[in-house]
Structure 1
Amino acid sequence: MTNPYGQQPGQQPYGQVPYGQPGQYGQPHGQPSGGFPAQQPYGQPGYPQSPGYGVPQGYPGQPGYGGGPGFRPPMPGQAHIVVPGSQIQFAHTPPLVLATMGSRFLARIVDGLIIGVPLGILFVILQVAVVAGDPDSWWLLFLIMPLASISMLVYEGTMLATRGATVGKDVAGVRLVTEQSAGQPGAGIGGGPAFTRLATMVLPGLIPCIGGLVELLVVLSPFFDEQARQGWHDKAAKTYAISTKALY
């Protein structure tokens, strides 16, 4: 006699195995043959995943460069901050060590002497000429300030454009770089960035009364940036001052 399912007495319903009893091939109920637990497809919840073997996370050119949720990559021309106030990195370079403010100050002193000593001698000559000669030529003394600005533009602008460093920066172990020149040792930053940087630093000094104060603030402005030590003139030109004496 058959049961309502059309099967013989004692036979289990078709396709069913009692829970907790061995299945058709001696396997526990709910497991496939072979004795291995069911695996979930790769990439599905519950399956362990790991990053690519041998690829450090956050390395330039890899997903998550400097990364994390909400991370925004640097804008064109800007460096990635590796260590705030200490190291930066472009996509095609290793980490670059930022120049210290002490070394930048030393470079400025050396360059100031290179420009200032000849101009100081010229100023003394003009004073003597005015006092001993024609008193009506006193207006010549006002040429010193424009001459100082022009001298700095020619001297520093040319050297930064062609080699990224002045004599003072060479002495102090400082080099200016942009995104394009950072991966080329000894390369200059180009005429555009060089003269943009200098114009931002020098031209405010020509403003009557407050020009000297503005120029001083521009020179001190790298102290205001705790991330990349960029002064206002550096930000305008998209340049960074790095150390040439640092160990990587």
Structure 2
Amino acid sequence: MSYGDPNNPYGQQPQQPQGQPYGYPQQPQGQPGYGYPQQAPQGVPPQQGHGYPQQPQPGYQAQPPGGYGFVHLPALGTVQLASMGSRFGARLIDGVVIGVIYGIFMTVGVFSAMGLAEEGDKCDWEAADYYACQDEANMNALFVGLGVMAALALITLLYEWMMISFAGATLGKMAVGIKVVKDDTGQAPGIGGGFVRWVIPQLGGILCGIGTLLVFLSPFWDNSGRQVGWHDKAAHTVVIKKP
């Protein structure tokens, strides 16, 4: 008489499925489990690591296909960043252009002011309105000087602001083949972006020009590897070589 399993009164040993080691449960066919590689669903490529790969974020990337010194921008693809040497060369050319414009306006303004001041010498010193005549000539010369200064300030503003806003480049940048674009669209910065990019260095000029110099040198210590200056970060722009 057997005192074993009541469901097996005859004491027979259970039969082990063929091909399955004794003591291990049989793995259901087609079902993933411990020690069995899980098959990827049909039509889905195998993934490396856990989960699905992250999709590339819009805007520029730190290491695009071209490697260091390149950037991936929407609508432009992978383009090369502008070197600091080319950006410095563009500033020099722009300085020469602005200097020539300043020279022309200053020459015209000085000669005009001198001509108006000399009008005071023609005033009749014996006339009752002699001093009024002198004051009028001096005021006219002063207004010419102030007008020339205002015109130069306006030209400086419009030259950098408008050209960067709509063309993405000043004459200097065009000459060396570089361009300023938005980092999220790859297009010209527009009125707002162009103004922000222009005004940041101007505000730096309050500190005797030291702030402006630091703004222009700030791409050297940009840790993103994209040579983005403080004014570019504020305007969300990046300087690239023309595609």
For structure 1, the 5+ residue unaligned runs are 18-22, 67-72
**Distance across 2 between alignment mates of 1:80 and 1:26:** 54
Q: Which amino acid aligns with 2:200?
A: T
Q: Distance in 2 between matches of 1:56 and 1:31?
A: 31
TM-score (normalizing by structure 1): 0.65
- 120-129 or 164-173, larger mean C-alpha shift: 120-129
- Indicate the residue corresponding to 1:152 in structure 2: 156
Contact persistence 1:149–1:202 (CA under 8 A):
no
Residue deviations 1:221-241, cap 9 Å, x none?
A: 222324221222111111110
Matches of 2:219 and 2:45, distance apart in 1: 40
Is 2:26 aligned against 1:80?
no
How far apart in 1 are the matches of 2:63 and 2:152?
Answer: 38
Residues 43-54 of structure 1: matches in 2 within 5 Å? Answer: 47=37, 53=45
Whole-Å separation in 2 of the counterparts to 1:191 and 1:241: 17
C-alpha separation between the residues in 1 aligned to 2:152 and 2:192? 21
Task: Quote how far apart the aligned CAs of 1:179 are.
Answer: 3.5
Could you tell me which of 83, 107, 110 is aligned with 1:124?
107
Q: Within the alignment, does 1:214 sit opposite 2:211 as a pair?
A: yes
Distance 1:48 1:143, change over 3 A: farther
2:185: which partner in 1? 181
Distance 1:197 1:56 in 2: 42
Q: C-alpha deviations, 1:42-76, integer Å up to 9, x for none?
A: 7x7863688x639899xxxx84357xxxxxx78xx
| Contact 2:75-2:185 within 8 A present in 1 as well | no
Q: Equivalent residues in 2 for 1:85-234 (5 A)? A: 86-90=69-73, 94-129=77-112, 134=117, 137=141, 146-182=150-186, 187-205=187-205, 207=206, 210-227=207-224, 228-234=226-232
Given candidates 4, 7, 26, the residue that maps to 2:9 is: 7
CA shift for structure 1 position 243: 1.2
1:242 alignment partner, SS class: strand
- How well do the aligned residues superpose, as a CA RMSD in angstroms? 3.9
1:41 is aligned to: 32
2:166 & 2:46 partners in 1: Cα distance? 39
Which range is displaced more, 109-118 or 123-132? 123-132
* Structure 2 portions without partners, runs of 5+: 119-137
- Identify if the C-alpha distance between structure 1 residues 213 and 173 changes in structure 2 by more than 3 Å, giving closer, same or farther: same
Q: TM-score, normalised by structure 2?
A: 0.66
Q: Is the partner of 1:108 in helix, strand or coil?
A: helix
1:99 Cα offset (Å): 0.6
Aligned residues: 210
Range that drifts further, 125-134 or 95-104: 125-134
Query: Which of 239, 242, 246 is the matching residue for 2:240?
Result: 242
